[in-house]
A and B are shown apart, each in its own frame.
Chain A
């Protein structure tokens, strides 16, 4: 099952559509950098964070937790059998985090000062944002180091290979530590907002809830990727299916922990009423909770079917739930005072879509050219 490049044509309807999306995003990004974000985005003084933070950074890095979640399993829990899934997961993580990090620049009003964060004399160590920013920046580096054997294998860089063989354990250790820090801190960011976040989401357990859901997202995304890649590249899932089944189970138990923690926390804080009386927010809460619960039911009930479709749908439900959880916590559950509104503008959405498109496009190009996916010959001609 040594990883192999899958080869094949680059130009297809999918890649063409993705390229158009990227070009559109480039157009709007140019507008944003030339005329300021007022010209493309609906973010305002009441809602300084829109989808460029909530989606591109918070959800983007959450979706990129596959590498982290697998590293926990493979290297910490010593389950070597999951190793074939590591490379694709790392690739998605590296892309997700790199683009998440870059997209912060879109959201910085004076983006030309972005490098200030890297200089100690500009840093304020009481700030959650400094922690997140530095940690994410460091993790992006670590991810590319973790991914570098793939590039070294392809291009025959013997030196890099020797170096990573010797020191990879350090990168792996950091690759487990850093996301634990910043994925929980993404939740801490909201604690700072205090009463402006609806009590359905505001809790001192936000860091833990964000961390658990990020790890669960990691497993879900690995399952999602394996299924999508198999369908998209018309590869058999035969070899990966047992691994996917086990990962799904781990994810389901994480979700049980998440749901229990969340409900008990709401109960203890005495905010049960808010689950029913907060109008649209209550509705969103229930949609979220339903989506969190569905995978548990699908995966852990004794009568559930054990096939790829179940795992795929369970992963989708989990991902949707975690995405909604973050959007709700950052945007829907956020109220800064009367009169303030936010809904992403079309150009704003197009920039975010463009970033997603770059990610998918990059993934397609990489798996075609580099030894990423576990190797077995495509079972159907294409």
Chain B
């Protein structure tokens, strides 16, 4: 019985029923799922047939993605996630170390062959045979290939795993590469961001859990529910952009009034992410970079984040600002002035005079009996 399962979950997680259902509804809304999906999600989380095994790999990264996930402040979210999935390998969260940890990974892979979810955090160095990142004597490249072979789903979390991120910034001495440059035979869902919004990751996992399939993704593997709109489209400062009100430097009048940060180099107009819609840190409005007065630096977007200088103007993808704005009082033209009327009159007068004179001459001509007939 659903009700019983939820009550059991309450006891298990120490989580109120209301808070749990709110969390499920929020996830469904984040993914733009239809009505009723929240109930499906609640059922799926409350009564997992068997908690899916998750193997979480760390390569060239800063563990910011994991940190961000752990700081998700929905009621005991990390606890919830740790209870509904079976996190069988995660270097940051493991109590085990050394060969013990590696053994746990092999055990989980063998036990859940073809059914586990592989999460990759960090880029993979491929230069010189991948020697720049090794764990337990194996290169990141080998570990990834090994784990990906039998995974049911692969999720690349963070910009490093999604498109290379900071480690791949030129000159890229280690040949840092994203997951989907190495694993080509399986779809790789990417959750770019530095760090990515934890709810985009959680929503993807829960979607997999609920429906047995990954959410719809674009050609770069990004879930459409999170990455199909430019930050610019839903930005709370958009009205200032459209009206031509810009902060020109940090701390100036416009900056203090909350004007658009485009001219400070905000990359919102060329960065696809849902930051302005779902915000960060669960503390309410304004809790995202642009909301706090710092231009977006395009962390989710390949070729923007870590690539373009922070204060370089963004390449506006959809609406290009006009070169000039309409005047408030439009000039409506002037009527005849003394000068212009005089010129017209003079021309008309001259023409009439010339015509009259000419007609007179013609009269003389034709009067010498040269008339038409």
Residue pair A343, B371 in contact (C-beta under 8 Å):
no
The interface on chain B, measured as residues whose beta carbon lies within 8 A of the other chain's beta carbons, has a size of 28
Residue pair B332, A307 in contact (C-beta under 8 Å):
no
| Alpha-carbon separation in the docked complex, A244 to B332 (Å) | 46
A349 cross-chain contacts in B, Cβ below 8 A: 340, 343-344, 347
Query: Of B138-146, B190-198, B355-363, which stretch is located at the interface?
Result: B355-363
Asked if A236 is at the interface of the complex by the 8 Å CB criterion, the answer is yes
Residue pair B366, A307 in contact (C-beta under 8 Å):
yes
Asked if A108 is at the interface of the complex by the 8 Å CB criterion, the answer is no
Residue of B331, B335, B362 ringed by the most chain A CB atoms within 10 A: B362
Residue pair A44, B332 in contact (C-beta under 8 Å):
yes
Q: Which of A245, A308, A309, A343 contacts B335 (CB 8 A)?
A: A343
Asked if A47 is at the interface of the complex by the 8 Å CB criterion, the answer is yes
Residue pair B373, A306 in contact (C-beta under 8 Å):
yes
Asked if A231 is at the interface of the complex by the 8 Å CB criterion, the answer is yes
Asked if B252 is at the interface of the complex by the 8 Å CB criterion, the answer is no
Closest-CB distance, A25 to chain B (whole angstroms): 13
User: What sequence of 0s and 1s flags, for each residue 301-334 of chain A, a beta carbon within 8 Å of any chain B beta carbon?
Assistant: 0000011110111001000000000000000000
Residue pair B335, A231 in contact (C-beta under 8 Å):
no
Residue pair A237, B366 in contact (C-beta under 8 Å):
yes
Residue pair A343, B358 in contact (C-beta under 8 Å):
no
Asked if A46 is at the interface of the complex by the 8 Å CB criterion, the answer is yes
Q: Which of A47, A238, A316 contacts B333 (CB 8 A)?
A: A47
| Alpha-carbon separation in the docked complex, A47 to B333 (Å) | 8
| Alpha-carbon separation in the docked complex, A216 to B334 (Å) | 34
Asked if B219 is at the interface of the complex by the 8 Å CB criterion, the answer is no
A47 cross-chain contacts in B, Cβ below 8 A: 333
- A308 and B337 in contact (CB under 8 A), knowing A45-B330, A46-B332, A341-B332? no
Residue pair A237, B333 in contact (C-beta under 8 Å):
no
Asked if B367 is at the interface of the complex by the 8 Å CB criterion, the answer is yes
A42 cross-chain contacts in B, Cβ below 8 A: 333-334, 340
| Alpha-carbon separation in the docked complex, A43 to B332 (Å) | 9
Q: Which of B330, B355, B365 contacts A236 (CB 8 A)?
A: B365
Asked if A112 is at the interface of the complex by the 8 Å CB criterion, the answer is no
Residue pair A245, B372 in contact (C-beta under 8 Å):
yes
Residue pair A346, B332 in contact (C-beta under 8 Å):
no
B347 cross-chain contacts in A, Cβ below 8 A: 349, 353
Residue pair A241, B366 in contact (C-beta under 8 Å):
yes
| Alpha-carbon separation in the docked complex, A342 to B341 (Å) | 12
Asked if A80 is at the interface of the complex by the 8 Å CB criterion, the answer is no
Asked if A230 is at the interface of the complex by the 8 Å CB criterion, the answer is yes
Q: Which of A244, A245, A308, A342 contacts B365 (CB 8 A)?
A: A308
B362 cross-chain contacts in A, Cβ below 8 A: 227, 230-231, 237, 307-309, 312
- A343 and B337 in contact (CB under 8 A), knowing A44-B331, A227-B358? yes
User: What is the chain B residue whose CB lies nearest that of A356?
Assistant: B347
User: What is the chain A residue whose CB lies nearest that of B335?
Assistant: A341
Residue pair B372, A343 in contact (C-beta under 8 Å):
no
Asked if A270 is at the interface of the complex by the 8 Å CB criterion, the answer is no
Asked if A340 is at the interface of the complex by the 8 Å CB criterion, the answer is yes
A340 cross-chain contacts in B, Cβ below 8 A: 332-333
Asked if A126 is at the interface of the complex by the 8 Å CB criterion, the answer is no
B344 cross-chain contacts in A, Cβ below 8 A: 344, 349
Residue pair A346, B372 in contact (C-beta under 8 Å):
no
A242 cross-chain contacts in B, Cβ below 8 A: 372
Residue pair B332, A309 in contact (C-beta under 8 Å):
no
Asked if A345 is at the interface of the complex by the 8 Å CB criterion, the answer is yes
Q: Which of B339, B358, B367 contacts A307 (CB 8 A)?
A: B367
Closest-CB distance, B182 to chain A (whole angstroms): 42
A309 cross-chain contacts in B, Cβ below 8 A: 359-360, 362-363, 366
- A306 and B333 in contact (CB under 8 A), knowing A231-B358, A349-B343? no
| Alpha-carbon separation in the docked complex, A119 to B266 (Å) | 38
Asked if B128 is at the interface of the complex by the 8 Å CB criterion, the answer is no
User: What is the chain B residue whose CB lies nearest that of A243?
Assistant: B372
| Alpha-carbon separation in the docked complex, A312 to B360 (Å) | 10
Asked if A339 is at the interface of the complex by the 8 Å CB criterion, the answer is yes
| Alpha-carbon separation in the docked complex, A306 to B373 (Å) | 7
Residue pair B343, A346 in contact (C-beta under 8 Å):
yes
Asked if A228 is at the interface of the complex by the 8 Å CB criterion, the answer is yes
Asked if B370 is at the interface of the complex by the 8 Å CB criterion, the answer is yes
| Alpha-carbon separation in the docked complex, A312 to B361 (Å) | 11
Residue pair B370, A46 in contact (C-beta under 8 Å):
no
B360 cross-chain contacts in A, Cβ below 8 A: 309
Closest-CB distance, A248 to chain B (whole angstroms): 9
- A237 and B332 in contact (CB under 8 A), knowing A307-B363, A309-B363, A349-B343? no
Asked if B336 is at the interface of the complex by the 8 Å CB criterion, the answer is yes
B355 cross-chain contacts in A, Cβ below 8 A: 312-313, 316
- A306 and B372 in contact (CB under 8 A), knowing A343-B336, A346-B340? yes
| Alpha-carbon separation in the docked complex, A49 to B326 (Å) | 20
| Alpha-carbon separation in the docked complex, A344 to B337 (Å) | 9
A339 cross-chain contacts in B, Cβ below 8 A: 332
User: What is the chain B residue whose CB lies nearest that of A340?
Assistant: B332
| Alpha-carbon separation in the docked complex, A44 to B355 (Å) | 34
Q: Which of A45, A231, A316, A345 contacts B340 (CB 8 A)?
A: A345
- A241 and B370 in contact (CB under 8 A), knowing A44-B331, A307-B363, A343-B337? yes
| Alpha-carbon separation in the docked complex, A15 to B365 (Å) | 24
| Alpha-carbon separation in the docked complex, A126 to B361 (Å) | 51
User: What sequence of 0s and 1s flags, for each residue 35-74 of chain A, a beta carbon within 8 Å of any chain B beta carbon?
Assistant: 0000000111111000000000000000000000000000
User: What sequence of 0s and 1s flags, for each residue 273-294 of chain B, a beta carbon within 8 Å of any chain A beta carbon?
Assistant: 0000000000000000000000
- A344 and B340 in contact (CB under 8 A), knowing A231-B358, A308-B362? yes
Known: A232-B358, A340-B332. 10 other contacts (CB 8 A): A236-B370, A237-B370, A245-B373, A308-B365, A309-B366, A313-B359, A342-B333, A343-B335, A345-B334, A346-B339
Binding site for A on B (CB under 8 A): 330-337, 339-341, 343-344, 347, 355, 358-363, 365-367, 370-373
Can you offer 23 A-B residue contacts whose CB atoms are under 8 A? A42-B340, A43-B333, A45-B331, A46-B333, A47-B333, A227-B362, A231-B361, A231-B365, A236-B370, A241-B370, A241-B372, A244-B372, A306-B373, A307-B363, A307-B371, A309-B366, A312-B355, A339-B332, A341-B333, A343-B336, A345-B334, A345-B337, A349-B347
Binding site for B on A (CB under 8 A): 42-47, 227-228, 230-232, 236-238, 241-242, 244-245, 306-309, 311-313, 316, 339-346, 349-350, 353
3 tightest Cβ-Cβ pairs between the two chains A and B:
A245-B372, A307-B366, A343-B336
